[in-house]
C-alpha cells in the first residue's frame, strides 16, 4: 500500500491513467513505474482491451450458464502456457493459488505445503507471516517455507513430514534468478516425494516471456496460477495445468458468483493475443534493462 511510497512526494490518490502516465486528484502528472501493482502490461486504458470490455458490456457481463469466452480464453492459455491442458477462472491471484493448493490436497490426499515466495491473503499461506491475526493456528503447522536456490531447505521439509506434503508452490522467478538447475531439481524432488509442483506465475506470467517463467526456464510444472498481465487490469485469474489435476475440481468446490463473469474474459481475449502480436515481453526486457542499468549507474 501507501507505505511503499515517499510521504510528501508520492500522490495519495490517483484520478486517471493513460498509457504509462497517471494524474492525481490535484492534476499532477506522474510516470507509474508500478503500473497498478503490475497488471497493466499494456498500460492504462488500452484501446483494444477497453473496446473489448465495452462491447461485452452491451452483450451482458455475467450469465447463469457458461459463455463461449471461457472456451476461447482457455484455448489461448493452452496455446501460450507450457503446462496448460485445461483452465478454470477466478478473479484474484489468491483465488488461483488457493484452488491450486486445494487441487493438490485432493489429488494426493495429503495436507502439508512447501512454499517459497508470496501467494496471497488466504489462511493456508498468510498464517506463517506476521500478518496472521485472526487465523487459526493449525494452518501454521501445515505450511512450511523454503528458501529460493536452497534445495536442502526444501528437502528438510519433506524429511520432517514424510508422506504428508501435497504440493511445492513457488514463484519461479523473483528478484533472484535460479542458480544452475535449481528449478529442474525442485521439480525432480517434488515428484520424487509424491508432491505436485505449482508455479505461482501471477507476476511472471505473460511478462518474463509470453509463456511465463516456465517457458523462459524450460521447467514445466503440474499447475500454474495466472492473473495480473492476463487481462491488463480487468479482474481475472486462472488456474491451469494438467487435465487430470484440473478435473479433480469435479469433486472439490471452486465456484462463486463472478467466476463466470465475462468482462475479465473479454479483456483477456483482447490482451493475450496483443501481448504476442506486439512482442510485449521482449519490449519489457529492453525497457527494463534501460531502467536497471540507469539506476545502477546512478548508484
Q: Which residues contact 160 (CB under 8 A, 6 or more apart)?
A: 144
Among 187, 228, 242, 269, which one carries the catalytic annotation?
Answer: 228
Pairing state between β 86-90 and 237-241: antiparallel
| Distance separating the N- and C-terminal Cα atoms of the chain | 26
Cα separation of 282 and 272, whole Å? 14
Has 118 been annotated as catalytic? yes
Nearest Cα neighbor of 248 from 54, 151, 104, 144 is: 104
SS (H, E, C) the chain: CHHHCCCCCCCCCEEEEEECEEEECCCCEEECCCCCCCCCCCCECCHHHHHHHHHHHHHCCCCCCCCHHHHHHHHHHHHHCCCCCEEEEECCHHHHHHHHHHHHHHHHCCCEEEEECCCCCCHHHHCCCCCCCCCCCHHHHHEEECCCCCHHHHHHHHHHCCCCEEEEEECCCCCCCCCCCHHHHHHHHHHHCCCEEEEECCCCCCCCCCCCHHHHHCCCCCEEEECHHHCCCCCCEEEEECHHHHHHHHCCCCCCHHHHCHHHHHHHHHHHHHHHHCCHHHHHHHHHHHHHHHHHHHC
- 200 tagged catalytic: yes
CB 213 within 8 A of CB 224: no
| Catalytic hit among 72, 118, 258, 274 | 118
Q: Which of 200, 222, 245, 269 is catalytic?
A: 200
Query: Is 24 known to be catalytic?
Result: no
Provide the annotated active-site residues: 118, 200, 228
Amino acid at each position: 500500500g501507501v507505505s511503499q511510497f515517499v510521504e510528501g512526494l508520492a500522490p495519495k490518490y490517483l484520478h486517471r491513467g493513460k498509457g504509462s502516465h497517471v494524474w492525481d486528484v490535484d492534476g499532477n502528472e506522474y510516470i507509474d513505474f508500478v503500473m497498478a501493482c503490475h497488471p497493466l502490461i499494456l498500460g492504462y486504458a488500452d484501446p483494444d482491451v477497453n473496446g473489448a470490455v465495452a462491447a461485452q458490456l452491451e452483450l451482458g457481463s455475467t450469465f447463469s450458464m457458461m459463455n463461449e469466452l471461457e472456451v476461447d480464453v482457455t484455448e489461448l492459455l493452452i496455446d501460450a502456457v507450457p503446462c496448460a491442458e485445461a483452465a478454470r477462472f477466478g478473479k484474484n491471484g489468491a483465488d488461483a493459488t488457493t484452488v491450486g493448493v486445494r487441487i493438490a490436497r485432493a489429488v494426493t490426499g495429503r495436507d502439508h505445503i512447501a512454499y517459497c515466495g508470496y501467494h496471497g491473503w488466504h489462511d493456508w499461506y498468510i498464517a506463517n507471516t506476521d500478518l496472521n491475526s485472526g487465523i487459526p493456528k493449525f494452518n501454521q503447522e501445515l505450511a512450511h517455507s523454503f528458501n529460493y536456490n536452497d534445495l536442502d531447505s526444501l528437502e528438510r521439509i519433506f524429511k520432517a513430514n514424510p508422506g504428508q506434503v501435497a504440493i511445492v508452490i513457488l514463484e519461479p522467478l523473483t528478484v533472484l534468478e535460479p542458480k544452475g538447475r535449481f528449478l529442474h531439481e525442485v521439480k525432480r524432488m517434488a515428484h520424487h516425494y509424491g508432491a505436485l509442483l505449482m508455479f505461482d506465475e501471477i507476476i511472471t506470467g505473460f511478462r518474463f516471456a509470453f509463456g511465463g517463467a516456465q517457458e523462459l526456464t524450460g521447467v514445466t510444472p503440474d499447475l500454474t496460477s495466472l492473473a495480473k498481465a492476463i487481462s491488463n487490469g480487468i479482474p481475472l485469474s486462472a488456474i491451469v495445468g494438467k487435465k487430470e489435476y484440473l478435473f479433480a475440481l469435479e469433486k472439490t468446490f471452486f465456484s462463486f458468483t463472478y467466476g463466470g463473469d465475462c468482462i475479465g474474459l473479454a479483456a483477456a481475449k483482447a490482451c493475450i493475443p496483443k501481448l504476442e502480436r506486439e512482442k510485449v515481453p521482449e519490449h519489457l526486457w529492453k525497457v527494463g534493462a534501460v531502467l536497471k542499468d540507469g539506476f545502477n549507474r546512478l548508484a
